[in-house]
């Protein structure tokens, strides 16, 4: 079969597929779509099915246009594409070794159940295990039990990471329901981050520095932590890096295949978490800068190979926007009604200073060491930023602007400012840091020796120092893997011990966000919502009255009167810490000032 005949058949295939989508959009009814996905057509999806059908028709026409040659453009290999340097074999072996090592580090103790914690307690260990923390529990209770049709049509709150929920559904179908299955998609995303980071780093900073960045990510406490966290953040990191790499690779090439891949990566990232929009916005700004520089005749940086097509980048972004809108269409009405209007109380966690302090605490290094590490890392990143700027200004815009825009949006909207929101930038941070360390070394050694020798010496010294940092980071992993993120089991074991060993007749109540967690772990513990609930329980209790709570700053902001009573009339008996900064679980006994016993 000749190439021309094969292309003709492919074009007819695109036309036929597009025609089927248009036909489906015309023949399907909104009630039929809702009934097929949710089992009944009760109108809860509002105008979502109509939007879904509209986008289905638009994409069908797009496919028909591709088949008819409307969007055809002959690709021409650019100089950058033809002269791409070969990656040495040792680098691939090194990357493969890191991937192999990363798998058990992210699967080890992936689940945590109370049976294991009981076993550890019997051996005399403090309650440990890697049990679920609050956000994971909400995922387990709110989204894991849903059918696939319900998952893709519901967006009641911002805790819905839709692609992650779909992956959990797949894991449950394949391996059964459980906590390690709930976290499995995060672990898979985490492992997949390594080859993508290597591809991005190879393009921006070279093979050696890319491997060094991958080595630190492999043994990074925080990367392992998020790879064992049943939320979409490791997936967001993966797709942010993948989309940025595809963006940089596709810009100098006039080929639709690259842009379709870019659109797929962006869509996947948007389906994981909507903050992916900041990554796309940065890409759009970098494209505008390139268009302006190309039109004004300005010389591009060495790594900016120019534009293979002026309009293909816009086409890739529009394709990503269209597919994302298609996939979210059925859930958008609910999101606009409820998810978009979640309340962020005017509390300390909306303050950027609180976020900085929480970040330092989460480093588990002590305040002096953490501040020194952050300061040194910031300096190295600044040096790396300047170095990469000389190579590719497009890359710097793509790496730096998403984080800056995110911070600006959160500050202006006074939204919750959790450090995990910036986790998607981890790959960019590692690459800038290793580049900055190398550039600083080259400059320093260049003062006392020739340029070529300085480059070689700096590479050797930086490699040794960086690997030493990797070893130090590896020593922090047991804490991330073996300890709970929030130790809800500790409180359960405390009361089990009192009941069995001391024959205590305790009355336990849960307060605030702890009520959501113990709805999963201990559903027979009642919730105290108001001060009246506490007073009523105290009046009828024939034993000690206890409250269990976590994340007290949330309780203080949303239920100040209840918090005041808990602070005044209850005494801390046990504090069960975990690896989540500020996520301690407190056990308090009722001891009011006027108590006589």
pLDDT in tens, 390-405: 888 899 999 999 999 9
How many other CB atoms are found less than 10 A from the CB of residue 24? 14
Q: Is 503 part of any domain? A: yes
Residue among 422, 154, 426, 152 at smallest CA distance from 275: 422
* Phi-psi domain of 587 (left: phi exceeds 0; alpha: psi -120 through 50; beta: other): beta
Mean pLDDT confidence for 438-457: 90
Please tell me whether residues 14 and 103 are part of one structural domain: no
Q: Is the pLDDT of residue 153 over 60?
A: yes
CATH number at residue 572: 3.40.190
Please tell me whether residues 551 and 476 are part of one structural domain: no
The DSSP element (H or E) to which 509 belongs, if any, is: strand 507-511
Do β-strands 545-550 and 570-576 pair in parallel, antiparallel, or remain unpaired? unpaired
Do β-strands 545-550 and 585-590 pair in parallel, antiparallel, or remain unpaired? antiparallel
Please tell me whether residues 452 and 584 are part of one structural domain: no
pLDDT-based confidence at residue 176 (cuts at 50, 70, 90) = very high
Please tell me whether residues 124 and 40 are part of one structural domain: no
Q: Is 83 part of any domain? A: no
Average pLDDT, the chain: 86
Please tell me whether residues 443 and 307 are part of one structural domain: yes
Q: Is 84 part of any domain? A: no
For the ranges 313-327, 439-453, 520-534, the lowest mean pLDDT is seen at 439-453
In this predicted structure, what is the pLDDT of residue 304? 53
Alpha carbon distance 214, 434 (integer Å): 11
Alpha carbon distance 417, 162 (integer Å): 21
pLDDT-based confidence at residue 500 (cuts at 50, 70, 90) = confident
The SS3 assignment for 586 reads: strand
Alpha carbon distance 278, 406 (integer Å): 7
Mean pLDDT confidence for 28-55: 92
Domain-terminating residue out of 18, 39, 68: 68
The DSSP element (H or E) to which 291 belongs, if any, is: helix 276-296
Domain-terminating residue out of 482, 501, 534: 482
Q: Is 73 part of any domain? A: no
pLDDT-based confidence at residue 199 (cuts at 50, 70, 90) = very high
Please tell me whether residues 303 and 251 are part of one structural domain: yes
In this predicted structure, what is the pLDDT of residue 69? 75
Tell me the DSSP string of 154-197: ---STT--HHHHHHHHHHHHHH-SSHHHHHHHHHHHHHHHHHHH
Please tell me whether residues 63 and 94 are part of one structural domain: no
Render pLDDT for 95-138 as a digit per residue (tens, 0 to 9): 999 999 999 999 998 985 444 444 444 444 343 457 899 999 99
Mean pLDDT confidence for 67-89: 60
For residue 571, list its beta bridge partners: 589
In this predicted structure, what is the pLDDT of residue 359? 64
Q: Is the pLDDT of residue 427 over 60?
A: yes
Render pLDDT for 203-244 as a digit per residue (tens, 0 to 9): 999 999 999 999 999 999 999 999 999 999 999 999 999 999
Q: Is 82 part of any domain? A: no
Q: Is 77 part of any domain? A: no
Alpha carbon distance 93, 100 (integer Å): 10
Domain-terminating residue out of 23, 39, 68: 68
Percent of the chain whose predicted confidence (pLDDT) is above 90: 60
Please tell me whether residues 101 and 61 are part of one structural domain: no
Tell me the DSSP string of 20-80: HHHHHHHH--HHHHHHHHHSS--STTTTHHHHHHHHHHHHHHHHHHHHHTTT-------HH
Provide the domain count of the chain: 3
In this predicted structure, what is the pLDDT of residue 576? 93
In this predicted structure, what is the pLDDT of residue 365? 60
Render pLDDT for 289-308 as a digit per residue (tens, 0 to 9): 888 877 655 554 444 555 66
Q: Is 80 part of any domain? A: no
Mean pLDDT confidence for 496-524: 88
Residue among 314, 246, 236, 233 at smallest CA distance from 268: 236
Q: Is 20 part of any domain? A: yes
pTM, whole model, 2 decimals? 0.90
Alpha carbon distance 489, 113 (integer Å): 9
Q: Is the pLDDT of residue 376 over 60?
A: yes
CB 57, CB 25: distance < 8 Å: yes
Please tell me whether residues 538 and 448 are part of one structural domain: no
Please tell me whether residues 377 and 518 are part of one structural domain: no
Geometric angle at alpha carbon 356, from 350 and 361, rounded to 5°? 115
In this predicted structure, what is the pLDDT of residue 243? 97
Q: Is the pLDDT of residue 414 over 60?
A: yes
Alpha carbon distance 515, 511 (integer Å): 6
In this predicted structure, what is the pLDDT of residue 558? 85
Please tell me whether residues 422 and 279 are part of one structural domain: yes
Please tell me whether residues 199 and 57 are part of one structural domain: no
Residue bearing tokens 């925080």: 222
- Cross-sheet strand order for the sheet of 507-511: 527-528, 507-511, 545-550, 585-590, 570-576
Q: Which range marks the domain in which residue 542 is found?
A: 488-590
In this predicted structure, what is the pLDDT of residue 346? 55
């Amino acid at each position: 079969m000749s190439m021309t005949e094969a292309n003709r058949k492919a074009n007819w295939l695109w036309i036929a597929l597009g025609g089927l989508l248009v036909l489906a959009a015309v023949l399907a009814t909104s009630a039929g779509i809702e009934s097929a996905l949710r089992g009944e057509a009760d109108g809860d999806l509002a105008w979502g099915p109509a939007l879904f059908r509209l986008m289905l028709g638009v994409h069908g026409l797009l496919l028909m246009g591709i088949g008819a040659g409307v969007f055809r453009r002959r690709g021409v290999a650019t100089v950058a594409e033809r002269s791409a340097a070969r990656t040495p074999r040792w680098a691939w072996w090194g990357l493969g070794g890191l991937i192999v090592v990363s798998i058990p580090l992210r699967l080890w103790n992936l689940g945590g159940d109370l049976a294991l914690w009981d076993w550890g307690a019997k051996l005399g260990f403090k309650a440990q295990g890697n049990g679920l923390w609050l956000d994971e529990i909400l995922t387990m209770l709110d989204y894991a039990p849903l059918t696939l049709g319900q998952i893709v049509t519901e967006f009641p709150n911002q805790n819905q990471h839709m692609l992650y929920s779909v992956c959990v559904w797949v894991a449950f179908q394949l391996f059964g329901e459980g906590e390690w299955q709930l976290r499995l998609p995060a672990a898979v995303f985490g492992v997949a981050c390594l080859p993508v980071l290597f591809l991005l780093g190879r393009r921006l900073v070279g093979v050696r520095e890319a491997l060094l960045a991958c080595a630190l990510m492999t043994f990074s406490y925080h990367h392992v932590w998020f790879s064992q966290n049943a939320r979409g953040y490791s997936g967001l990191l993966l797709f942010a890096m993948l989309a940025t790499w595809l963006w940089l690779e596709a810009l100098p090439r006039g080929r639709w295949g690259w842009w379709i891949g870019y659109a797929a990566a962006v869509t996947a990232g948007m389906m994981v978490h909507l903050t992916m929009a900041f990554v796309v916005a940065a890409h759009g700004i970098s494209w505008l800068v390139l268009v302006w520089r190309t039109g004004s005749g300005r010389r591009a940086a060495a790594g900016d190979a120019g534009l293979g097509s002026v309009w293909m980048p816009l086409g890739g972004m529009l394709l990503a926007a269209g597919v994302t809108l298609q996939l979210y269409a059925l859930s958008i009405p609910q999101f606009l009604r409820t998810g978009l209007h979640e309340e962020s109380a005017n509390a300390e966690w909306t303050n950027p200073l609180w976020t900085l302090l929480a970040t330092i605490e989460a480093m588990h290094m002590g305040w002096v060491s953490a501040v020194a590490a952050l300061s040194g890392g910031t300096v190295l990143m600044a040096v790396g930023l300047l170095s990469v700027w000389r190579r590719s200004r497009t890359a710097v815009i793509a790496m730096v602007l998403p984080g800056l825009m995110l911070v600006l949006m959160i500050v202006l909207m006074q939204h919750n400012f959790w450090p995990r929101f910036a986790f998607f930038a981890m790959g960019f941070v590692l690459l800038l840091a290793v580049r900055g360390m190398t550039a600083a070394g080259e400059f320093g050694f260049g003062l006392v020796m020739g340029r070529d020798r300085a480059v070689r010496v700096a590479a050797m010294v930086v490699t040794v120092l960086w690997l030493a940092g990797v070893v130090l980071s590896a020593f922090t992993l047991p804490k991330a893997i073996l300890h709970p993120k929030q130790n809800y089991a500790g409180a359960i074991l405390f009361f089990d011990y009192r009941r069995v060993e001391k024959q205590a007749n305790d009355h336990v109540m849960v307060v605030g966000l702890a009520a959501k967690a113990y709805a999963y772990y201990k559903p027979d513990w009642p919730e105290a919502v108001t001060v009246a609930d506490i007073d009523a329980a105290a009046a009828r209790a024939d034993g000690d009255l206890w409250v269990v709570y976590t994340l007290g700053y949330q309780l203080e902001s949303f239920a100040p009167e209840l918090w005041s009573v808990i602070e005044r009339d209850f005494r801390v008996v046990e504090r069960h810490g975990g690896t989540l900064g500020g996520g301690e679980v407190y056990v308090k006994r009722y001891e009011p000032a006027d108590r006589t016993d």
